[in-house]
Structure 1
Amino acid sequence: MTAGVRVRVPASTANLGAGFDALGLALGLHDVIEVRRAPSGLAVTVTGEGADDVPRDESNLVVRALRAACDRLGFDPGGLAMTCANVIPHARGLGSSAAAIVGGIAAAHGLAGKPLDDDALHLAAEFEGHADNVAASLLGGLVVAWCEPGPRFRAARVEPHPDLRPVAIVPSEESATHVTRGLLPAVVPHADAAFAAGRAALAVHALAARPDLLLPATADTLHQDYREKAWPRTLRVVRELRALGVAAAVSGAGPTVLAFTTDGRVPAGVDLTGFTATPLSVDRAGVRVDPLD
């Protein structure tokens, strides 16, 4: 057991075009969580993103994930003193909830002196409902996620190409995943499903080995257009970028746009009124857990 841990967990972008609930990429934007064991009680301090809204009690998502992981590990941490320094924007499609879940689970494993494993991934995906974002935050790099009968969530990591230059184009408004999922149809045309299968497979190849193929690889007919009324400005930016030859897609459930540029810059001619463009690196390490002094 460890008296305290510091957890550094990356943001993530999911779908990457047609890879709905299957593809994720870790990004170089990190929340930091410090947790110390205490004689009793729970004390939570939150700074940065969501500081005015995030609960400070047992309903806090980091705390809930930590408690669930401790239960799975058969470990009672006792009281907890936690500080969360949040940088990942909330409700913007950059995996803030996944980072909170992974951060809590990683903290539990660190306090218990246990390595992160496939059970940690499965638990995180149970919280999130799918594994793409949590797998990216947990493993780093590019991930391909799936669910086996049981159900059992799984993911495989793929090393991303070193030339990837993602830019997160973040609007001021927020978006709720449960709302945008509600806009998706129960069935899609067979042709759209076939298109999505081909482009999702191409996206893995492009992100790992052929960035020059990212424009066709990030095309989508499966989910983005159906959710346009939730964030019309987001789809306008995606289309303007793609018309200029820049690979762009909605990041996760939106409303952020994820663009792959050659130099980390959005080309002139794209109307970014109401958006903030932030060049980001690809996080290749995933969640990091270190003991506190």
Structure 2
Amino acid sequence: MTAPARAAGREIIVPGSIANLGPAFDALSVAVDLDLRVRIEEVGARPADAPDIALEGQVPATGENRIATAFLRAASMLGEVPPPVRVSVRSAIPMKGGLGSSAAATVAGLRLFEALTYPRDVDTWLRLATDIEGHPDNAAAALLGGLTLSCQTADGRVLASSWAWPDDLRFVVATPEAELETRFARTVLAPEISRADAIYNLQRALLLVRALETRRYDLLREALGDRWHQPARMQFVPGLADILALEHPAVLGACLSGAGPSVAVLATDPDAAAAEVRRVYDRLGMPYTIRILAARPPDAAALAAPSRLHQETP
């Protein structure tokens, strides 16, 4: 077990993520350089009778807190009560923006539990995070870093593979000031799709993986095509249709980020691409935020041993 004195003062760092990437709904996700940070401020000297977590800083004033939810779920599922803990939270990931804030908080709660007990294999955390989130894509990216491909088996296991995103390919992410709840965004999806649309998405999801592996960026625009979730969500995401239709050379391709409302443009010249994105939202007259993001590399520590706990530099 991690000694409480050693855990205090440490910081858990979990990245945000961009999921779906066009046709690869609930399958592909990439970790990006937006962080959720949970610092362990104080740990009780004795074990508690029940899990006890106090959160400070950037935490929701109302509603469910995913860090606490995941922490308590881990205690329940793994049958262990960690010592009481007080933590502070800082996050650069916008809430309800489609950039993996929920999955990052879930993974942070699981890692916090791990920090106060002992390391488990990453499969344990993948399964628990997927149980909480309802789908594995963002959780896999938050745990493993890099570009992740994930799926869930019939018996509930989560299989995931992570590899490096091309280092010269950036995301220009536009987040309009319009919230879109993931739960609601899922309700607008058709429960079934046609054979033609299924083939369309399957072809492009495979093409996307290969285009990224070989840096065939000329294929990205077509490879990001989708006939299922993006058309269904179009009316709820300001600017999405216009961004997907951009044909500037700097815009290599675009997709909805997660459930939205953030929209991600892939670019090797992110400044030029950002200028095109700004024109779209300025024309719409809607407040927005532009972020130029790099992908996080695969987390070797998470792949080799599950702990994603870092000692803060004095």
Fold shared by both chains (TM-score > 0.5): yes
Single out whichever of 91-100 and 78-87 deviates more from structure 2: 78-87
Matches within 5 A, 1:154-169: 154-169=159-174
Query: Does 2:310 align with 1:290?
Result: yes
- Equivalent pair of 1:7/1:34 in contact (CA under 8 Å): yes
Q: Are 1:70 and 2:75 matched, yes or no?
A: yes
How far off its partner does 1:34 sit? 1.6
SS in 2 for 1:224: helix
Per-residue deviation at 1:203?
A: 1.4
Shift of 1:215: 1.5
Displacement over 6 Å in runs of 4+: none
Q: 2:131 is paired with a residue of what secondary structure?
A: helix
2:305 corresponds to: none
Distance 1:176 1:7, change over 3 A: same
Which of 249, 252, 255 is equivalent to 1:246? Answer: 252
How far 1:155 moved relative to its partner? Answer: 1.2
Describe the SS at the equivalent of 1:118.
helix
Q: Residue 141 of structure 1 contacts residue 158 of structure 1 at CA under 8 Å; is this kept in 2? A: yes
Distance 1:53 1:187, change over 3 A: same
Return the letter of the residue paired with 2:309.
V
Deviation at 1:235, TM superposition (A): 2.6
Structure 1 CA distance for aligned equivalents of residues 168 and 243 of structure 2 = 23
Give the match for residue 90 of structure 2.
85
1-side partners of 2:60 and 2:156: how far apart? Answer: 36
Q: Which amino acid aligns with 1:38?
A: G
Measure the CA separation in 2 of the matches of 1:285 and 1:152: 21
CA distance in 2, matches of 1:114, 1:89: 29
Q: What is the aligned counterpart of 2:57 among 36, 46, 70?
A: 46
| 8 Å Cα contact 2:250-2:267 kept in structure 1 | no
Q: Which amino acid aligns with 1:275?
A: Y
What amino acid maps onto 2:294 in structure 1? S
Q: Secondary structure at the match of 1:82?
A: strand
Q: Greater share of helix residues, 1 or 2?
A: 2
> What does 1:213-228 align with in structure 2 at a 5 Å threshold?
213-228=219-234
- Give the greater-gyration-radius structure (CA): 2
CA RMSD of aligned residues (A): 2.2
The answer to whether 1:191 aligns with 2:200 is: no
Aligned to 2:270: 264
Take 2:99 and 2:198, find their aligned partners in 1: how far apart are those partners? Answer: 25
Taking the aligned partners of 1:52 and 1:113, their CA distance within structure 2 comes to 28
Q: SS in structure 1 opposite 2:32?
A: strand
AA paired with 1:278?
R
Shift of 1:161: 1.8
C-alpha separation in 1, matches of 2:247 and 2:60: 34
Distance of aligned partners of 1:89 and 1:267 in 2 relative to their CA distance in 1, 3 Å threshold: closer
Q: TM-score, with normalisation over the residues of structure 1?
A: 0.90
What SS does the aligned partner of 2:132 have? helix
SS at match of 1:240: coil
- Unaligned 5+ segments in structure 1 are none
Aligned residues between the structures: 287
SS at match of 1:272: helix
Secondary structure, counterpart of 2:80 in structure 1: coil
Q: Which amino acid aligns with 2:12?
A: V
User: Aligned pair 1:276/2:282, yes or no?
Assistant: no
Contact 1:235 1:250 in 2 (8 A): no
The answer (yes or no) to whether the contact 2:53–2:68 under 8 Å persists in 1 is no
What is aligned with 1:179?
184
Q: Report the secondary structure of 2:193's partner residue.
A: coil
Q: Structure 1 stretch 112-121 or stretch 216-225: which is displaced more? A: 112-121
Letter in structure 2 aligned against 1:114: P
Pairing 1:23-172 to 2, within 5 Å after superposition: 23-35=28-40, 36-38=42-44, 41-47=52-58, 51=59, 53=61, 59-172=64-177
Per mean C-alpha deviation after superposition, the further-off stretch among 23-32 and 182-191 is: 182-191
Shift of 1:54: 5.2
SS in 1 for 2:159: strand
Q: 1:261 to 1:187 in 2, by over 3 A?
A: same
